[in-house]
Chain A
Amino acid sequence: MNGENLLLLSFILFSLSLLVFLTNRNLLIMLMSLELMLNAANIALVNFAFVRRSAEPAAWLFMLFAVAAAEAGIGLAILLMLARTFKTLRADLINKLRG
C-alpha cells in the first residue's frame, strides 16, 4: 500500500464514473456519477496527505465534503425543477432552453 496505489485507485474510479456519466441518459444517475467523480478526486487528495505525512490536505478534504454536500443539494433541486417542467428525467429529451 503506497501513494501510487492510491493514485491508481483514484484514476480508475474517476474513469469508471466518467464512463457511467457519458453512457447514461438518466439525469439522476448522471448526478450520482458526478458525486463519484468528486469522491475519486478526494482519494487523490488523500494520497497527498499520505505521501506528505501532513494534515493540510486532510483539512482541504474536510472542506471538500461540504462542497460535495452543497453540490448534491443544488443538483437535486435543479433536477426536481427540470423533471417537473419537462415531465421526464431523460437528458436527451430536455432540449429546450426555455421550458
Chain B
Amino acid sequence: MIKDLLFYLLSATAIVSVLAMFFQKDPVKAAISMFVTLFTTGLIYMLLGLRFLGAIQIIIYSGAIMVLFVVALTALSSFPPALSSKMDFKIPALKNLLTAPVPLALALVLTALLFGPDVQWRSPFAVSLGDLTRSIFIKHAFQFEALSLLLFIAVVAAYVFARRTNER
C-alpha cells in the first residue's frame, strides 16, 4: 500500500518536474528540473527492487551527467541568448504552482523511504546483484566489451571536437 503511494508520488514528482522544465526559461533552472526527474526515476527503480540500478541511476545520471551539464553551463554562459521557449507562457502563478511542490514532494518521499516503518526494500521481484553481474559479464560479455569500445571512441571524439574548437 505504502509502496503504491510512494510510486504514484514519485511518478507525479517526475512528471511535474518535466513540466516545470517546459515552462522554464533559465537553463540552470531547467537543469535542476532535469536533476529532480532523474533522481526520482532512480528512487522508482529502488522502489521496484532494482536497488543497484537505482543507485547507478542516481550516481551516473543525476550525478556525473548533471555535473557535465553544469560544466557546460559555465562554459557556455557567455554565449547569448540565455534562453527561450518559442511559446512564451507568461503565467508566473502557474509556474510557481508547478515548481513549488517538487522539493516538498522529494523531501516527503525521502523521509518516508528512510524512516517509514512499513517500507520493505526487498520486493518479491528484486533482481539480485549476482544475477545482474552474471548476465552482464557472462551472457553479454561481448556487448559489454563493445560498450567499452564505444566509451573509448566517445572520449576520443569529445577530445577531437574540443581541440578543433581551440584552434579556431
CB <8 Å contact, B21 and A32: yes
Contacts of A68 in B (CB 8 A): 60-61, 65
Cα of A10 to Cα of B64 in the assembled complex, Å:
23
Interface SS majority for chain B: helix
Cα of A23 to Cα of B127 in the assembled complex, Å:
39
Give chain B's interface residues, CB within 8 Å of chain A. 3-4, 7-8, 11, 14-15, 18-19, 21-22, 27, 30-31, 34, 37-38, 41, 44-45, 48, 50, 53, 56-57, 60-61, 64-65, 68-69, 72-73, 75-76, 79-81, 83-87, 125, 127-128, 131-132, 134-136, 139-140, 143-144, 147, 150-151, 153-155, 157-158, 161-162, 164-165, 168
13 contacts between A and B (CB under 8 A): A1-B8, A1-B48, A23-B85, A24-B84, A26-B27, A28-B27, A35-B65, A49-B50, A58-B132, A68-B61, A74-B157, A85-B165, A88-B79
Cα of A10 to Cα of B143 in the assembled complex, Å:
25
Closest residue on chain A to residue B155 by CB atoms: A73
**Which residues, 72 to 99 on A, are CB-close (under 8 Å) to B?**
72-74, 76-81, 83-85, 87-90
